[in-house]
Structure 1
């Protein structure tokens, strides 16, 4: 194992949850053309959404460092544009290069060409003109994104984002605790969501529902969740945190932050709310969820199971050694100790469907057709890697007294990545045991 990092800022916003929160609508993200909705709403090409080096708004409030890690920005350095709609210039009136002056481009010699290509006899050129750029990025957001991602509390309602309310949406559990229940919302806390999914998969008994009744007359149910201090950021003294069933939804009754894959189930959202209350060290039942953004996925597991966080970096190990670490923490191919992995701050992720500065849950390992794979889950519940390095098929895990099949074909965020590809794309992995 390696030395624990001094501080980690792993995190990226779930674009699907953010798009639904911005538009106030739900979409079928399994539709092959749904990426167009993301592009239009987030004003960024799909191929550039998943890496901060393209100034993607999914990394709002983060900046890339020289060592390929990310750090949080000062709040005052994140600009907010004047409206939620992009103000555009009517380029249909431009007939020649001189007419570009109508758009404020007066010195063509100094304008950088982003890319150029020959298309059926036409030269199509994309110019990079920063002073005309008013699209949302990691350093410039729209007013609605500011409210969702950074919080804009209504002083009359406690911490409540604009056009949202706190509401009891269902049962803590619908059935048994499942690894695919937690779905990340519109805040960059994938490190925490991947951690609770890891617990739900490897040690489901660790996800407890402790309840006590309060008040007089009509009884109000309060959930009690224990957190353990492990030091550093996103931490607080060990404490049993009590929260009600109320979680944030939009006025159109859609969740904004963490939600369950099972409709009418709320345990993942309650865990997120309790974590926010704990790290904010507040007694308020309406804690600021946005303060959970960016953190350490390995420590997040330890804060819940009170075990020792162990870190393993990929750059100092062979692919076989990384594969061996997963096997050491598994039985019958599935992890029996909760494990997570995280990607680099930036890299060659374009076109891979693997997300930079993102935390994933490790579910186990597989050996198929003489190839070794590590099984992972994206806490977004969708978005899996493309290409020859992922296995497309059915893999089953023996869990206590029953088999759990995982379909690698369905777009549910679960995938099997060949170990050399895992070493290439991922910065590290960890376990709390």
Structure 2
């Protein structure tokens, strides 16, 4: 089907399955292509700066506490300040972006920021990616020219150590926060969503098209690794030596790009929409709440959340929330152009709160969050935090759910 906003209703009706309404079919087509209805604020691209720093250094870094971590990030990334790193106008967290070209193909485009504003050490990591032509065809042969320097395909670690735990997901130096946050949210609600069929080191996952048709994809345990540290170059696990999130990331890239071999261009999944990812993982159509801070909106969305969480306050359906690209988020420690997993809600001292997780497994807001624990999870650790609900509505952009 031509992926163009000018497709006539008559043409769409000829292609529409009999058991779908025209509205469902049209919305599905728009969501699959991420064009033309998605805006800049609907596409999330932020990468984990710690993973980028470790890729530049070629080693695992002992980060210490968050204050020490950010001091080291400023030094390694060549930033003028911590705020500089999270400034959406700079290219520290989004050196590359996934785009859709005029023909509907998934392609690369560099950030709109000029080349000279990108620190040399960051540019050197992404030189192979940044030199790809925006109209390049997806390759169906094994071409590893896209791999950053000092990154290669290797089998390292163990797929599972204690089974697949959704809160082990740790985003790397690739802007696929939308996919990893959605994978975490789905697994948080139902572990079956993050299970694969495993046979002799080969893993088969199921993803769903916008027509909700299941499609299986099989991959080996070879993943892009930093050749110096033997650690996953992109998505990984907070459990040392475990690689199942990286294999899922690879499987998604293979399926999403239509790759026919075992070494897909994983970098092509940089940039996407959290709602689309939820549908691709679960096979269920997604809906969303646009967030803005009014009293009536607070009651409406809180009431809906209350109905879709259990007696412990945990979500019963997968949900993610994204942020827009507005600069004001960064002063609070909320990353712009990013997607977070929604874990649940709570009321503490008569104040409504929502519990979220950053797929970086760190970097929580500096204000409006409480300390302590929630359902056995330490707040402020592993990217998990409980933020006041009114501030959530003010600082976040769109809540997606299936």
Give the structure-1-normalised TM-score: 0.73
Structure number with greater Rg is 1
2:92 is aligned to 57
CA distance in 1, matches of 2:239, 2:53: 20
Matched residue of 2:330: which SS?
coil
CA distance in 2, matches of 1:74, 1:351: 28
Indicate the residue corresponding to 1:250 in structure 2.
Answer: 226
Would the alpha carbon gap of residues 149 and 330 (structure 1) be closer, same or farther in structure 2, given more than 3 Å must change? farther
Counterparts of 1:355-374 in structure 2 under 5 Å? Answer: 355-374=335-354
Q: Distance in 2 between matches of 1:379 and 1:76?
A: 22
Write the mapping of 1:157-306 to structure 2, written as runs, cut at 5 A: 160-213=147-200, 221-230=201-210, 238-252=214-228, 253-306=230-283
Shift of residue 343, structure 1, vs aligned partner? 0.7
Are the counterparts in 1 of residues 52 and 173 from structure 2 also a CA contact under 8 Å? yes
Report the Cα offset of residue 378 of structure 1: 0.2
Q: Distance in 2 between matches of 1:326 and 1:357?
A: 23
Change (3 A) 1:49 1:78: closer
Q: Which has the higher strand share?
A: 1
SS of match in other structure, 1:324: helix
Residue 319 of structure 1 pairs with residue 298 of structure 2: yes
The structure 1 residue matched to 2:73, chosen from 38, 47, 63, is 38
Q: How many residues align?
A: 348
**1:413 maps to what in 2?**
383
Say if 2:150 and 2:227, in contact at 8 Å, map to a contact too. yes
Question: Given that residues 48 and 350 in structure 1 are in contact (C-alpha distance below 8 angstroms), is that contact kept between their aligned partners in structure 2?
Answer: no
1:202-227 per-position Cα deviation (integer Å, ceiling 9, x unaligned): 111221120235xxxxxxx2111111
User: Quick check: 1:426 aligned with 2:400?
Assistant: no
> How far did residue 60 of structure 1 move?
2.1
Secondary structure, aligned partner of 2:203: strand
Alpha-carbon distance between aligned partners in 1 of 2:91 and 2:111, rounded to the nearest angstrom: 19
Change (3 A) 1:149 1:394: farther
Contact 1:13 1:188 in 2 (8 A): yes
Task: Mark the CA change 1:204 to 1:248 in structure 2 (over 3 Å): closer, same or farther.
Answer: same
Distance 1:155 1:334 in 2: 43
Distance (Å, rounded) in 2 between the aligned partners of 1:230 and 1:150: 31
Three-state SS of the structure 1 residue aligned to 2:205 is strand
SS in 1 for 2:259: coil
Unaligned runs of 5+ in 1: 64-71, 81-133, 214-220, 397-404
Written as runs of structure 1 = structure 2, the 5 A alignment for 1:68-79 is: 74-75=109-110
Q: Is 2:315 aligned against 1:335?
A: yes
Where in structure 2 are the equivalents of 1:129-168 lying within 5 Å? 134-136=116-118, 142-147=123-128, 160-168=147-155
Distance 1:266 1:299 in 2: 24
**Deviations for 1:294-321, whole angstroms, at most 9, x for unmatched residues?**
1111110111110111111003862332
Q: Distance in 2 between matches of 1:33 and 1:208?
A: 36
2:55 matches 1:21: yes
Instruction: Give ranges in structure 2 of 5+ residues lacking alignment.
Output: 1-26, 99-106, 134-138
- CA distance in 1 between counterparts of 2:357 and 2:219 reads 28
